[in-house]
Structure formats: structure tokens, C-alpha cells
A = this chain, B = another copy of it.
Amino acid sequence: MVVEAKGEAGTSSERKRQSVLAAATETFMQSGFLGANMDEIAAASGVSKQTVYKNFGSKEALFIEVVTAMMSEADLKVHTAPAEPDDTAELESYLFNYAYRQLSVALTPTLMQLRRLVIGELSRFPDLARILYERGPQRAITVLSGVFERLEAKGLIECPDATLAATTFNWLFMAEPVNRAMLLGDAGLPTDAKMRQISGEAVRVFLKTYGAEDT
């Protein structure tokens, strides 16, 4: 199967790899794993099917490569580390910005489609869904839980169980829009104004529960 014409290797090989990856991303996002066709991917990337197999081994391996590349990109965008607040006056806007940034990065048509695809392929690719879980919600909650421990040490929130508080806050703003988008598609994605409203309400509920003073 891995028969390759001479002269395809060398400096152009990384370019070919990237071109296959881009075409594969589009094809998998549109057609799903089973529906995607390796001939189509080869044609769209302008290389031979042999070159696709030579670079990625199999349709499964190519799919895994596509998914991990997309997740790494999103991860870099969400987990910036803005300065943490030192007093109660800054707390609310810090939490608001945290929620709003995560919503803005996560709720894109492409990432929602990736999530749908991985969920739909859970029985075939359980490891892929696990990676998405670990790099998505689990990572968000771990990062946030560290933030909450420091905010409690500064006396800004009252939070005996930082992981529980982080889980609650994360889902207070993520749950409704993510689950709506899963089932209603791009038409279900929130507008910018809606994302601000959701973030504000999540902060209000969180501070009612965890605020050091009864805010």
C-alpha cells in the first residue's frame, strides 16, 4: 500500500503533510469519520493517495492527528494567565473576563463541530474523546481550581473545596451554550451580547455562593 513515486520526498514533504492535514480537517469536519473518503482527501490536497498513507499510515491515524492539532490550538488561546485580583473590587471583573474569554474561544463553529464529531465517534475512538475531556473541561477546572485556592488565601472568596467551586463556575457559563450548540448547530451559538450576559449571570450566582462578603 505504501508505494511512493520517487522525487516526492525532501523539502516539499512537510508542505505536503500540512496540505493533507488541512484537507483532512475540512473533510472530516464535514463528513465525519466514516463518511470521509481518503481519495477525496488526497485529491483536495493535490497529492497521491499513496502519499497520504505514507505520511499518516491510516485513516484512523490521520483522524487522530487532525483532532489533536485542533485541540492544541484552542488550548493555547484559552489558557493565557491574566493578573489575578488583589481585592474584592477587582474580583467581579476578573471572573467576568475569565468566563467571557473561555466562551469566546470555545464556542466557535469549528470547535463545536470537532466536539460533535468526537462524541459521535466515542465507541470507535474512546481515547480521542478522553483527550478532548482532559484538554477541555478537566484542564479548565484544574486551572480555575488553582486560581480559587489563591483567591481564598487572599480572603477574596470562601471556598473550602476549590475543585467543587471551579466545577460549578465552569459549568455555570459553559453548560447552556455548549449543550445548545451541540443540538442546534451553529444557529444555536450565542451572540457576543449573549456571551456577556451569560458570563455576568455566572459571576452573580458564583459570588452569591462563594463571595467572602455577602455580595
A residues sitting closer than 8 Å to B (CB atoms) are 30, 32, 34-35, 116-123, 126, 129-130, 132-133, 136-137, 164, 167-168, 171-172, 174-176, 178-180, 182-185, 188, 201, 204-205, 208-209, 214
Contact = CB atoms under 8 A, between A and B. Distances in A.
Contacts of A182: 119, 122, 129
Contact of A120 (B117, B171, B188): B117
Nearest to A202: B168
Nearest to A117: B120
Most buried by B among A121, A178, A208: A208
Residue in A116, A137, A164, A179 with the greatest tally of chain B CB atoms within 10 Å: A179
Given A164-B201, A201-B168, A205-B205, A180 B133 contact: yes
A130 B188 CA distance: 10
Given A133-B180, A175-B175, A185 B34 contact: no
Nearest to A178: B179
A178 B183 CA distance: 13
A172 B171 CA distance: 7
Contacts of A133: 180, 183-184, 188
Contact of A175 (B32, B122, B171): B171
Contact of A126 (B132, B136, B180, B185): B185
Contacts of A201: 164, 168
A112 to B, nearest CB: 9
A172 B32 CA distance: 31
From A129, A130, A205, name the one whose CB has the most chain B CB atoms within 10 angstroms.
A205
Contacts of A137: 179-180, 183
Contacts of A208: 208-209
Contacts of A188: 133
Contacts of A168: 172, 201, 205
Contacts of A174: 175
A35 B118 CA distance: 15
A176 B183 CA distance: 17
Contacts of A209: 204-205, 208-209
